[in-house]
Each structure stands twice: as C-alpha cells, then as structure tokens.
Copies of this chain bind each other. A is one copy, B any other.
Amino acid sequence: MRPGMPDAALQRLAEAAAAMPVEERVCLPAGFAAGAAAIGIKPSGRPDLAVVVVTTPEPASATGLFTRNLVAAAPVRLSRAHLAASGGRVRALAITAGSANAATGPEGDADEEEISGALAAAAACPPAEVVRASTGLIGPRLPVPRVVAGIGGLVPDRVARDDAALEAVARAMMTTDTRVKAATATVDAGSGGGWRSVRVSGIVKGVGMIHPGMATMIAIVLTDAPVAPATLSALLPPAVALSFDQLTVDGDTSTNDTVLVLASGAAGGDEILPGTTDAESVAVAIAAVCRSLARQQAADGEGATCRIACRATGAACLDDARAVSRAVVRSTLFKAAVHGRDPNWGRVAAAVGAAARPDGTPVAVDVASLRIALCGTPVFAGRPLAFDVAAVRGAMEAPEVTVDVDLGLGEAAAEAWGCDLTEAYVRENAEYST
C-alpha cells in the first residue's frame, strides 16, 4: 500500500497512532443504524447478513480500499465501481458471510447487481450509494433470493441506532473468527466550527487468508466526523499501510479484502478541512483504530495461541523497516518455534537476511550491526549472546511474543503483527470447504 505521504510523516503518524488510547469495544457513532439476520448461508445457522444504514439527511462520505488480488470478488468489483460513480457517497452497506462470491464468473456479478439493487430500493437511495462486502468460501454463489428477502426484512424497519446493533454486524460477518474485534477512539475536534467530540469506531473480521497487501478481511470504520469524501480518501491509505498491510496470518492474500470508512457528519459543526489540526486528529484516530483492529486480528489468527509483534528499528529506510518486520512475523519456521515457546532466534536472523523490498531488491542488512531481542532479552548482537533460555521461554508464554530487530543502519522503524503456527491451524484448514 503506497500511503501517499512522505516516510517521515508516516512514521510520525505511526507513533501518534500507537500512543492514542483506543478501547477494544463496539460503539456505533451518531448518524448510523445497523442490523443483522440469519438467512442460512452459514451451515451453522448463525447470523450471516448485516446492514449498516446512514440516517443523516445526506449520505455519508465514504472511501474504501480493496484487495489487490486479481481474482477480485464480485462484491469488491461492485463496491469499487459504486464508490467511483457516487463520488464517495454511501447510504447503505450490506455484508454477507459464509460465501465470498469470488471466482463465480459473470453470474456472480449479476447476483451483486440484484442484491445492491434490492438494498437501494429498501434504503430509498440511488444504486450507486450502496456498497457490498462478502466473505467465506471461494466458488459458491450466494442464495440471492434469501439475501434480497433478508435485506427487505431489515431495512428500513429493523435496524437500530445502538452499540448492540453494530456488535450484531460484527458477529454476523465472522467466519473462522472466534471473537468480536472492535476498536473505538474519541477525539476532541475544537478548531473550525466550535468544540465537538468525534468518534471513530471500527469492526473487523478475518483471521485466515491474511497477508499484507491487504490482509483478508472486512473492516468497517464508522465516524460521525463531518469530512468530505476527498478528505476521507486521503486519510485511509496511511492508516491501512500502518495496520492491515503489516499483518500476516498465513501469507495468503484473499480475493475479498475490503476496508470501508463511512463518515456521517452527525457530530455536527463545520466540515473538517484537510491540513487542519482537526483533520490531523481524525487521521490519527482512524490510524489508531485500524492498528488496534489489526492487532486483534493477529491475536485471533486461525489456530493461534499468541500474537507475535515485531518492531524493526535502525533501518536504512522505511521500506526496509516495514519489510523486515513483516518477514519476521511471516516466517513459517519462526511461527512454529514460537508455538513451541522455543527462543530459536536463528530463524529470525534467517528471515531478516532474506527480506526484500516491494520491488524485490534485498533489504539492507549488515550482520555485524544486527541486534535481535526476544521478549525484551537481547539474544544476538553481531554474534550470539549468552542468555537465560528458561527465562525467555517463560516470557514467551505471554499472550504477545515481542521481537525487536535493530538493523543498526539508520533511523527508520516499523512494526508488524502475526501469530504462532499451530496444529490447530492445519486441522482447521485441512477441511474447510467440506
């Protein structure tokens, strides 16, 4: 993800986002209503259809980032087209779970037209103001009549304006997720049209087929901030670059990745303009919410027993710091070692030495200046260090295993998140479609 800002600015945003307080809870900002239902896509019978409707007189400002997988799913293609056609205006969103509607051919696209048309009719808006997301098995088609009937049953009468309604959406979009993942930040925006409190709240699903660029997932970020679509569009890429792009569970890139941000403006006051301190506050809040969601995804990774967090410092450039931190949390062998709480730092060194920039060139690494610490204990500094293996093993029992990699070559820093590789991951994924 090209974040569209200079490296130094991106690194400052990362630090501000990491420092901002974020609550790991669901919160529905003003200007939205939500609801969910079970329509039988999931064999379990659990809720699998969710809607979010914008309740303000004007549609919400909206922006989205989507999978770069060339086998992009039909709902991804539809949402891209609708956001472009509406100029970033959204009235309603529908999410289906249990089937990805990916690799379904022209029939899958026709299905999306029918579903989004039904939602537009129910929400009394132009079709281009509807967006879609779907997640689940690749290949099968959606049960369109049931989706359409389900939407009609929810919109407009069965949606609610409370936090529980958004939690129901978060639950409905879960597939192999084991828990709701949500994050909320509140910022005071005092410049421009008077003081107001602005809320940014996100929910996310996705704990497998997760890999940078972007991770497999659906993330919905809602805010009551009054921002124009163009302003919002500029805030999302850096937030995603610092969060979902630095997340890997299994190295697989999904066909259905979708991150949507909707801004209702219901917090009131004048429009927040680009370059103001208020815009800066909202940018940090969006980045902080995305970072929290990505970290929660890592912890809930398929079969995972712990999160792995790698912080790379001292890199010659930001691309290197980002690549090194990702390479460490992606290493299959290191992930397996973490599962055994084995402080096998050699696998970290091997991952660092093989890390590559986005253009395929090797990251700048000098073994003599390389330092590695596991759970805060230095284990390598140009050569192996003696350390208390039993103590580090003990520290690795924590819910988060940290790896610090100092390349000793510059000032750039970045972080990335993943999880351990377990037998449960293999079992879960050896029998998914059947």
* A-to-B contact residues, CB < 8 Å: 68-72, 100, 102-107, 137-140, 208-209, 211, 213, 250-255, 330-334, 336-337, 339-340, 342-347, 349-354, 357-360, 362-363, 365, 367, 370, 380, 382-384, 389, 421-423, 425-434
Contacts and interface: CB of A to CB of B under 8 A. Distances in A.
A31 to B, nearest CB: 35
6 A-B pairs with least C-beta separation: A138-B346, A105-B383, A340-B430, A71-B353, A336-B429, A253-B354
A342 B432 CA distance: 8
A252 B332 contact: yes
How many monomers of this protein are in the complex?
2
A350 B252 contact: yes
Given A71-B353, A343-B433, A425-B426, 9 more contacts: A68-B354, A70-B365, A100-B346, A103-B383, A138-B347, A139-B346, A252-B351, A336-B429, A359-B360
A331 to B, nearest CB: 5
A432 B350 contact: no
A383 B104 contact: yes
Contact of A333 (B339, B360, B429): B429
A339 B71 contact: no
Contacts of A251: 251, 330-332
Contacts of A367: 70-71, 103, 105
B359 A255 contact: no
Given A71-B350, A362-B70, A345 B139 contact: yes
15 contacts: A69-B353, A69-B354, A70-B365, A71-B349, A102-B349, A139-B346, A251-B330, A253-B350, A339-B430, A342-B433, A344-B433, A421-B426, A421-B429, A423-B427, A426-B426
